[in-house]
């Protein structure tokens, strides 16, 4: 597995949470990470589009970390109070403010689909980004798609 | 799962590409080159992408499809995605390209 470089961002995993999966990833682990997330999503009872979309959201953010965030990152998945959470952290140079504005203000473009998609798939997305790295926290619906956002 | 691409050619000039596995950061470039090869082939009169066994595609993969569809249209031929499974259809719908890529009205 690749080694993280620089100072890792602190975790937000709350006490009492049931950590399902944790790994460091790089380009060669994208498929392995998808398989692991798919396995845990299935064990939690997610099926069809909810199952696919969770794997997609995690894939988009791990891909972003590899492509824009220094080539590697760290993923944590946990279950807390009947909710599924994922945290994807990298030690890249952060997401430019204008790119974040574009994601919020527009629909899918030719590039930058990943964050736009993630916002539409997940119940909640928190992005903490700066020159020392990016951490994205997802809250994922366990029973119904966030239809109001689509 | 790795990506496997199998081409068969129909007598009418339609090139069919059967897609098996996952399209992600590690495979989308090969997928793009393969589809571009079909679209740019002067002997090809249409492109059919069979997605029945496409297990996963990310947003960059969908962008490859959209650009290939545009390139095909510029050449005056039709590129269609067929047999996509429900979650993949859902993604294409969410990105607003389902009807364009499948030719099926939502």
Compare CB distances from A55 to B56, B59, B90 and report the shortest one's residue.
Answer: B56
**Residue-wise pLDDT tens digits, A12-22:** 677 778 899 99
Using a CB–CB cutoff of 8 Å, tell me whether A68 touches chain B. no
- Facing residues of A21 across strands? A77
Give the CA distances from residue A20 to residues A38, A47, A85, A90, A106, in Å, rounded to whole numbers and listed in that order. Answer: 12, 18, 10, 20, 34
Structural domains in chain B plus CATH codes: 4-102 (3.30.750.24)
Compare CB distances from A56 to B26, B91, B96 and report the shortest one's residue.
Answer: B91
Does the predicted TM-score (pTM) go above 0.90? no
Compare CB distances from B26 to A27, A52, A55 and report the shortest one's residue.
Answer: A27
Over residues A90-99, mean pLDDT:
86
Over residues B38-60, mean pLDDT:
97
Q: In total, how many domains does chain A have?
A: 1
- The ipTM of this complex is 0.90
> In A, which residues are within 8 Å of B59 by CB distance?
60, 108, 113-114, 117
Residue A75 has pLDDT above 80, yes or no: yes
Residue A150 has pLDDT above 70, yes or no: no
Tell me whether strands A124-130 and A133-140 are parallel, antiparallel or unpaired: antiparallel
Q: Alpha helices, DSSP H only, in A7-150? A: 30-43, 48-68, 97-105, 113-121
Q: What's A64's domain CATH number? A: 3.30.565.10
Give CA–CA dist A113/A65, Å, rounded. 14
Residue A14: helix, strand or coil by DSSP?
coil
pLDDT for the residue numbered A12:
65
pLDDT for the residue numbered A3:
33
**Residue-wise pLDDT tens digits, B64-105:** 999 999 999 999 999 999 999 999 999 999 999 999 999 998
The answer to whether position A1 is within a domain reads no
pLDDT for the residue numbered A143:
75
Q: Would the CB atoms of B94 and A117 count as touching at under 8 Å?
A: yes
CA distance to partner chain B, nearest, from residue A115 (Å): 10
The answer to whether position A53 is within a domain reads yes
Which residue of chain A is at minimal alpha-carbon distance from B97?
A108
Tokens in use for A33? Answer: 């990470």
**Residue-wise pLDDT tens digits, A21-74:** 999 999 999 999 999 999 999 999 999 989 999 999 999 999 999 988 889 999
B interface with A, Cβ–Cβ < 8 A, is 1-2, 22, 24-26, 56, 58-60, 62-63, 66-67, 86-88, 90-91, 94-96
């Amino acid at each position: 597995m690749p080694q993280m470089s620089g100072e890792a961002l602190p975790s937000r995993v709350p006490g009492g949470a049931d950590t399902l999966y944790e790994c460091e990833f790089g380009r060669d682990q994208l498929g392995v990470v998808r398989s692991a997330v798919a396995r845990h999503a299935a064990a939690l009872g997610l099926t069809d589009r909810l199952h696919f979309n969770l794997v997609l959201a995690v894939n988009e953010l791990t891909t972003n970390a590899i492509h824009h965030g220094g080539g590697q990152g760290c993923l944590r998945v946990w279950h807390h109070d009947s909710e599924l959470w994922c945290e994807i952290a990298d030690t890249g140079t952060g997401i430019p403010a204008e790119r974040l504005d574009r994601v919020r203000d527009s629909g899918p473009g030719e590039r930058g689909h990943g964050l736009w998609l993630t916002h539409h798939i997940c119940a909640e997305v928190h992005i903490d980004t700066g020159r020392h790295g990016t951490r994205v926290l997802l809250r994922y619906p366990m029973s119904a798609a966030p239809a109001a956002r689509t | 799962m790795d990506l496997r691409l199998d081409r068969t050619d129909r007598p009418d000039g339609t090139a069919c590409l059967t897609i098996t596995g996952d399209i992600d950061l590690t495979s989308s470039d090969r997928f793009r080159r393969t589809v571009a090869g079909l679209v740019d082939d002067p002997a090809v009169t249409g492109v059919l992408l069979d997605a029945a066994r496409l297990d996963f595609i990310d947003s960059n993969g969908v962008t490859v499809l959209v650009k290939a569809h545009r390139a095909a249209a510029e050449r005056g031929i039709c590129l269609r995605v067929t047999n996509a499974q429900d979650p993949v259809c859902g993604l294409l719908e969410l990105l607003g390209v389902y009807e364009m890529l499948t030719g099926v009205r939502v």
